[in-house]
Structures are given as C-alpha cells and as structure tokens.
Structure 1
Amino acid sequence: MTGLFDAAAMYDDDYLHFFAAPRGASEFAAHGPVLPGADSPGEAVAELTWRLLDLRAGMRVLDLACGHGDLANRLAARGCRVTGLDSSTVFLDRARADAAAAGVSVEYVAGDMRRIPWTDRFDRVVNWSTAFGYFDDATNRAVLDGIVRALRPGGRLAMDLDNLTAFLASYCPSRVVAARDDGDMLVDRYHLDALTGRFEAERTVVRDGRTRTLTFVKRLFGFPELRDWLLAAGFATVSGYGEDGRPLTADHKRMIVVADLR
C-alpha cells in the first residue's frame, strides 16, 4: 500500500516483535482495553465489538485492515463468517498461522483498503486499532465510500480510533518501547501538524544489533468531523463510544464510532 508513508516498511516483522504476542503463545495476541469480567484484553475487545456491532453467529464480517488477525480470529471463533483484508503479507501470514493454530476459519485477503473489492456482501465492517486515516483527506473519505458499498442494506460499521481530546491532553513528544529482556527497543519521536490534523512520527528500531529509521503519519479526528464524513458517505446514524462501551467522553482514551446504514 502506498500513501503518505511506506506502510510495508512499518507493518513488518519488527512491528510484530514489539507489539504482538510471540508466535505459538497459548492466547491470541492481546491488545485493547480490559473490561470487567473479561478473561483477557483480546477477548475484551472481541466482546466489546460483538456488543457494539450487535453481532450474531453466521453474520458476514469484514475486518478492514485486519493486521495480524487477532480480532478477526476471535470473531470467527464466536461463529461469524469473517473476511480479513490487509496490505501486509507479514501480518497476513501471521493471521493465517494463528487461525490454523486456533482451529478457526477466516478468509484472509491481501488488498488495499482504498479498493475494497466487494459490493453488498457484508453485514458488518470492523476497522480497529487506529487503522483509518493514513491517506490524504479525499482518499480517506473514498475509503468510507468503499465501506458503504461493501455493506448490505442495514449494515453497521465500527471504527476504533484515538480519542482526540484525551490524546492531546496526554500528548508526549516521544516514547520508548522495550521488547522483553533481549535489549531490543523502539523509539518514536512525534510531531503534530495543526494545519493538516496529522500526527507524524519518526521511528527508530533497534533489534538484533541493527538500527533502522522509518516514518509514518496518521490523521487525527474529533468525533464531529468523522461523524459528518460518515453521514456524507451514506450512513444514516453515527454514535460515539469509549473503550468501556459507554457514550464517548473527553476522558476516554479510545473513540469507537458506530455507524448504521438504512
């Protein structure tokens, strides 16, 4: 996938090394908020998605920009007929391996979210872990148009993004991520562009004695702006929630936008 940065360079084995559970772990890769009563962070995300999307076994679900498949595999384990679309071959290989190890069936497809290849196929679309906003604004809006085309009448979309108000309140110009006890680390340096609404990052990866630097960009959204984009794309209603499933507030770290077609 091409756009404002080299996505293939970012979403690779180094990303999995720092941000995903080791291959062969007994649990799915864990991420996301922990809800009361949940057995794991990953299951909490699946439960929240299940509830907000009003999912039922047998529904066709598209996990758009599915990454390494953690959520897609969990929804398939609950009985949904899941398709995962992603541009990263490394992520898709991991997703397929984890699906096979878990004994679940997911259709993983290599593709570009700017060219969603289905029409009127899915009951639900999920786009999780800030997997939207990586292009210029016209292209980002075209992605929403593609989601509308892929959904059946009455379909529903759930998107999980940074909550802008909380993000800005806790903004820090850098971070360091260490991978277990092997000496590997990842260093991000950030810049916020107030004119474009973009969050720009320079990432330095130190792993196995080698160092490389890459950049990435993502668009930051407030709820009113994204709501208006979704309504313009053809959705009839748009609601906002936090990571606990309650109506969105300024204090929530995540912004989950749920949009319904007529």
Structure 2
Amino acid sequence: MARGVPAQRVPAQARDDRRHRPPQGDAGEAVAAARAAGVSWWEQFFDEEYLVLYAPVLDAERTEREVAACASLLRLAGGMRVLDLCCGTGRHAIPLQRRGMRVTGVDSSRKLLAKAAERADRVGAYPSWVLGDARSVPLKAGAFDAAICLFNSIGYGTDAEALAMLREARRCSRQLLLETVHRDEHVRNAGPGGVFEWAERDGVRVLVERWIEAVPGVSRATFRIQREGQSDVVRDFRHRLYTATELVAMLRKAGFERIECYGDYDRRAFAIDSPLFLAHAR
C-alpha cells in the first residue's frame, strides 16, 4: 500500500523554518480549470502519470551513469551532505545515499515523494525527504557540500523563478551540478509545424503533440494517455528553453563564479548539437 511522505529526517542543523511557496508558471490550456483554482500546471503534471510518460527513458543503466558522473564531478565522498533539488522519485538521491552520501531530496510533489519513500524501502537506503519548493528551500544556508538539479528541473515558471531556484542552490551549497535540455538542440530537431508521436507500452498508449513557441522560447507538449475501457488522461506541459549563454548568465547572477559546461555526463565539450547541457558551478 502506498504510504504518505514520511516525517522529515533532515538534521536539525540543515533545517530552516521558511515555508514561503509562491505560485510558479502559467497553466496550460489543458488545465485551465486548475488555473482558475489557483493551481499551477506542474502541480498536476508531476503525479503517477508522469512516471508512465517518462519511465521508459529513465532506465537503471542511464541512472547509474548519471550518478557515477555526479560523484566524480562533485568529488563526493562518504558522509558528505548532498541536496537534490526537484528530486522526484529519488532516482538520483537513493543511489547517492547507497554510495555513502547523506542526501536530502526536496520536491513539491507529495505523490512523487511517496514513490521515492517506497523505492528507498525496497533497497534499504534512506535519504531525507522534504516536501518543499525549490525556489524557497526550507533548509539553512551552507548546510550542504554539494547540490544537484537534474533532468530538466529548471524552466517550469518564469525566468525570475528559475533564477530564484539557482540562488537557493547557491545559498545552500558551495557547488551545484545542473543538467537540462537547451534551446539549440531542441530547435535543431523541431519542425516548424510541430511534431506528433505515439508509443504503446504495457497496454498504455501515449499520444504526444510537441511544438515550440518561438518568441518566449517555450517547448510545449500535450500528452494524451489512453487505456482500454477508461477515459483519456490529458496532460499539458510547458518548459522554458534556455541557451547555454542564458544558463551561464543566470548561474553567475545566482552567485556562482566558476562554471564548467559539458555536453553530456561523459564530460564532452558543450556544442550546439549536444544532447544536453551540464554545468558544474562553484
């Protein structure tokens, strides 16, 4: 049986009493009712259906490669404190905890944190889980040796909110590993009229329409999840696409001085056709 989010096990020296959670992002057309109720689109998107949409590409081999790169780039050693911003189901937090780090995962989705707790129970590695907003983290300044923010977790709201999240990472830790998609690669692979895709797995069919809003630089998608005998589930997605130039500028504005940019976890040099943007900021 799924359990709720466990009580916080964050060390007292890392806690803070700030609980400000400002609204983030604009609701998409598919969640207009949620917007009227004061709920941001991402608060509905990151639930159990999110796992249906992305589980196929987040396999164990990929996760291990990313976790190994994190440990190497950040020079992590046993006992070091690591903050995982937007940790989701603990895909990186749990393996890092198993490697001997003391990990705290922060996420605004109660449902994803419940899944994280279940995964932690299965492998016997227990990060601390905090239900909170990455733009206003309820943790003390300088409480961590390193912070990570991985798998496109920046860009779901305004530019000011993205900067606020980076500033929180800098406030909590002296170094950050940031991974996200970047605009150059997205635009290079996007058609002017949008892209339609579909996939079927374990009896679930997912239809996807993707397009880019050129002026605001936002990647949009509408997902339609279909199951036999059930009503379709529709999810709207919007993600601000930043160039590497913009991301580096935001990291500097957040207070980081030394920034090394890579095009993948293998530390290849960043280029406009790199599959992702990876920055080690200090």
Q: TM-score, normalised by structure 1?
A: 0.86
2-side partners of 1:104 and 1:18: how far apart? 26
AA of the residue aligned to 1:206 = Q
User: Which residue of structure 1 lines up, in the alignment, with residue 158 of structure 2?
Assistant: 136
**Cα distance change of structure 1 residues 206 and 2 upon mapping to structure 2, 3 Å threshold:** farther
Q: Give me the identity figure in percent.
A: 29
Q: How far 1:250 sits from its partner (Å)?
A: 2.3
2-side partners of 1:185 and 1:89: how far apart? 26
User: Which residue of structure 2 lines up, in the alignment, with residue 148 of structure 1?
Assistant: 170
Are positions 1:159 and 2:186 aligned together?
no
2-side partners of 1:158 and 1:232: how far apart? 16
SS for the counterpart of 2:179 is: strand
The two structures, once aligned, show a CA RMSD in angstroms of: 1.9
- Equivalent residues of 1:72, 1:83 under 8 A apart: yes
Q: How far 1:78 sits from its partner (Å)?
A: 0.6
SS for the counterpart of 1:240 is: strand
User: Which residue of structure 1 lines up, in the alignment, with residue 119 of structure 2?
Assistant: 98
Structure 1 residue runs without a partner (length 5+) = 22-29, 33-38
User: Which residue of structure 2 lines up, in the alignment, with residue 229 of structure 1?
Assistant: 250
Q: How far 1:175 sits from its partner (Å)?
A: 4.4
AA of the residue aligned to 2:183 = L
**Cα distance change of structure 1 residues 98 and 179 upon mapping to structure 2, 3 Å threshold:** farther
Counterpart among 48, 62, 69 of residue 48 in structure 1:
69
User: Which residue of structure 2 lines up, in the alignment, with residue 120 of structure 1?
Assistant: 142
- Equivalent residues of 2:195, 2:211 under 8 A apart: no
Q: How far 1:233 sits from its partner (Å)?
A: 1.3
- Equivalent residues of 2:42, 2:156 under 8 A apart: no
- Equivalent residues of 1:52, 1:258 under 8 A apart: yes
Q: Deviations over 1:133-178 (max 9, x none)?
A: 1111112112212111111xxx210111113322221125234353
1-side partners of 2:150 and 2:115: how far apart? 17
2-side partners of 1:181 and 1:20: how far apart? 12
- Aligned residues, how many? 242
2-side partners of 1:142 and 1:161: how far apart? 16
Q: How far 1:103 sits from its partner (Å)?
A: 0.8
User: Which residue of structure 2 lines up, in the alignment, with residue 245 of structure 1?
Assistant: 267
Are positions 1:89 and 2:110 aligned together?
yes
SS for the counterpart of 1:122 is: coil
Q: Deviations over 1:214-239 (max 9, x none)?
A: 31211111111111111111111111
Q: TM-score, normalised by structure 2?
A: 0.80
User: Which residue of structure 1 lines up, in the alignment, with residue 45 of structure 2?
Assistant: 10
Alignment of 1:164-243 (within 5 A): 164-172=183-191, 173-182=194-203, 184-208=204-228, 209-243=230-264
**Cα distance change of structure 1 residues 199 and 186 upon mapping to structure 2, 3 Å threshold:** same
User: Which residue of structure 2 lines up, in the alignment, with residue 36 of structure 1?
Assistant: none
AA of the residue aligned to 1:144 = L
- Equivalent residues of 2:106, 2:133 under 8 A apart: yes
User: Which residue of structure 1 lines up, in the alignment, with residue 131 of structure 2?
Assistant: 110
- Equivalent residues of 1:77, 1:104 under 8 A apart: yes
Would you tell me which structure has more strand in proportion to its own residues? 1
User: Which residue of structure 1 lines up, in the alignment, with residue 278 of structure 2?
Assistant: 256
AA of the residue aligned to 1:74 = P
**Cα distance change of structure 1 residues 31 and 212 upon mapping to structure 2, 3 Å threshold:** closer
2-side partners of 1:18 and 1:213: how far apart? 11
- Equivalent residues of 2:211, 2:221 under 8 A apart: yes
Structure 2 residue runs without a partner (length 5+) = 1-22, 28-40
- Equivalent residues of 2:24, 2:161 under 8 A apart: no
Are positions 1:59 and 2:59 aligned together?
no
2-side partners of 1:17 and 1:133: how far apart? 22
- Equivalent residues of 1:125, 1:157 under 8 A apart: yes
